[in-house]
Chains A and B, each alone.
Chain A
Amino acid sequence: MAKHATPMLDQLQSGPWPSFVSDIKEEAERRHKNVGNVEFQIPVDVCDDLLGILELSYKDGTTHWKHGGIVGVFGYGGGVIGRYCDQPEKFPGVAHFHTMRVNQPNGKYYTTEFLGKLCDLWEMRGSGLTNFHGATGDIVLLGTTTPQLEEIFHELTHNMNTDLGGSGSNLRTPACCLGESRCEWACYDTQELCYQMTLEYQDELHRPAFPYKFKFKFDGCPNGCVASIARSDMSFIGTWRDDIRIDQEAVAAYIGGEIQPNGGAHSGKDWGAFDIEKEVINLCPTECMWMEDGKLMINNRECTRCMHCLNVMPRALRIGNDRGLSILVGAKAPILDGAQMGSLLVPFIKVEEPYDAIKELIEGIWEWWMEEGKNRERLGELIKRQGLAKAISAVGLTPVPQHVMEPRHNPYIFWKEEDVEGGWDRDIADYRKHHQR
């Protein structure tokens, strides 16, 4: 018998999608039965009380978590999101309900051995509830008490060789698409670069030193499977700069109907037979493709590497061999001054161990933002306030046309004094010699 009545939540147990309510109830039940004789370190009925307070929120239409919460582990300035319920007498099981962010492996590949260990740890010292994964990428352990934080941290680091993720005004946990591990379009090893940057900047991740939060994300190609262009202050997106490799036999097979377009992605509906003119050539944004004697031709100089043709004919068209990535900066959510996506900063850079060139760019941006950024000003907002030209010079580049979608149309153009013959020191008397009042 459940501890609290949850008539509204119960309705969410019907329907075809996996029900979080059924799952939490199952975990609540498991804790009560405690078949494994676990020495629970936080209240046994934590899951019941979570459902109870959630039901209350469904009823009231408002949250029942208090404002804020500052807890953590010694040595680090982040990694734990403290949280206290505002009805601790009614729901003592969630009086403390802190979240721990645990750094996930890149691409989120696991062994059951690792997950099993993590679950054993969390079952004993936490609620048994998780979020796999947080939007930034972390494994999220959902709900424990303050005294357990150091215990869990000790277990994670000593027995599982695993660290916390980031929170606060720091480098947050980086994440990547699964990259070369199982995608033929990956233009660099996203997992490796993500891993190496995470290791390199552990200090910046664990001890907030920035004006505000900062995120890295690594996409292997412009398809953006980790959405770096929208969800990271510094977005690394793979590309190539030579020719698309064309297998004309496979092109013919697509035309002949032997291979389904888009890997069969649209097979749920009858779109007619594949028509390369209609589905590829006429959709190329730069109109740089054409058919000639049954062969597909691409004017690669005019290709913007949008991925469309490769996405439609994965078995006929492949990324080039001269690969690297672009770096875009400034993506952020609306608060304070409006949503932004990343703006192109570095059009192309090779990805070569030990990644010194990439590190230099990252550190150039940080140096500028750490010095100039106002309190809680995201990089994107600093770029708005001080200008893209400042960001470009912060990384030692000079402006190129690729830096803009279009040139400015207003003429409020600043000039540096040194670029203007004669400078700014002018005497009105000299002017009056030629122009009477």
Chain B
Amino acid sequence: MAMIEFKGKNFEIDEDGFLLKFEDWGPEWAEYVKESEGISEITEAHQQILDFLQDYYKKNGIAPMVRILSKSTGYKLKQIYELFPSGPGKGACKMAGLPKPTGCV
């Protein structure tokens, strides 16, 4: 596990670049992650998805299913990949500070 520093903030991350503690999240985190996730600028659309993921995680303790993410934000999977080239798991969840997806990935 590694510590990284960005814009004066410290984040503890794993090998895949996921935040170890959700509570450590800050807007700087999204800024830090974006490059490695192929994103040049965080637009309103990105932000909407990040906000939804965070609210959902706070309320339910899990990340939403892709279907729920699409239905709730109005973004089709195709659009989500346009925004987050690595997809909702590796791209959006990482940027939102959610824990790393698990299972038979």
| Chain A residues at the B interface, C-beta cutoff of 8 Å | 66-72, 74-78, 81-82, 84, 96, 167-169, 203, 207-211, 213, 370-371, 375-376
A83 vs chain B, min Cβ distance (A)? 10
Q: Are B105 and A68 in contact (CB under 8 A)?
A: yes
Partner of B16 from the list A69, A76, A77 (CB cut-off 8 Å) is: A69
Q: Taking A207-B77, A209-B67 as given, write out 4 further A-B residue pairs in contact, using a Cβ cutoff of 8 Å, ordered by the A residue number.
A: A81-B105, A96-B15, A209-B66, A209-B77
Q: Are B88 and A77 in contact (CB under 8 A)?
A: yes
- B3-11, B20-28, B44-52, B96-104: which lies at the interface: B96-104
Q: Are B105 and A78 in contact (CB under 8 A)?
A: yes
Interface digits, B65-105 against A, CB 8 Å rule (1 contact, 0 not)? 11100000000011001000111111000100000111111
Q: Are B100 and A68 in contact (CB under 8 A)?
A: yes
Q: Are A72 and B86 in contact (CB under 8 A)?
A: yes
A395 vs chain B, min Cβ distance (A)? 20
Q: Are A72 and B90 in contact (CB under 8 A)?
A: yes
A144 to B51 CA separation, bound complex (whole angstroms): 34
Partner of B87 from the list A68, A207, A210 (CB cut-off 8 Å) is: A207
CB<8 Å pairs between A and B, sample of 25: A67-B102, A68-B100, A68-B102, A69-B15, A69-B16, A70-B16, A70-B90, A70-B100, A70-B101, A71-B16, A72-B87, A74-B85, A75-B85, A76-B87, A77-B87, A77-B88, A77-B89, A78-B105, A82-B105, A167-B105, A168-B89, A207-B77, A207-B78, A370-B67, A375-B62
Residues of A within 8 A of B90 (CB): 70-72, 77
Residues of A within 8 A of B62 (CB): 375
Q: Is the interface of B mostly helix, strand, loop or mixed?
A: loop
Residues of A within 8 A of B77 (CB): 207, 209
Known contacts A72-B90, A78-B105, A211-B67, A84 near B15 by CB under 8 Å: yes
Residues of B within 8 A of A74 (CB): 38, 85-86
Chain B count of residues within 8 A CB distance of the other chain = 24
A376 to B102 CA separation, bound complex (whole angstroms): 11
Residue of A nearest to B102 (CB): A68
Residue of B nearest to A209 (CB): B77
Residue of A nearest to B38 (CB): A74
Partner of A375 from the list B65, B87, B100 (CB cut-off 8 Å) is: B65
A207 to B75 CA separation, bound complex (whole angstroms): 14
Closest 7 CB pairs of A and B: A77-B87, A74-B85, A70-B16, A209-B77, A84-B15, A70-B90, A375-B65
Residues of A within 8 A of B101 (CB): 68, 70
Partner of B86 from the list A67, A69, A77, A376 (CB cut-off 8 Å) is: A77
A343 to B90 CA separation, bound complex (whole angstroms): 35
Residue of B nearest to A84 (CB): B15
Q: Are A82 and B16 in contact (CB under 8 A)?
A: yes
Residue of B nearest to A74 (CB): B85
Tell me if B29 is interfacial: C-beta within 8 Å of chain A: no
Residues of B within 8 A of A203 (CB): 78
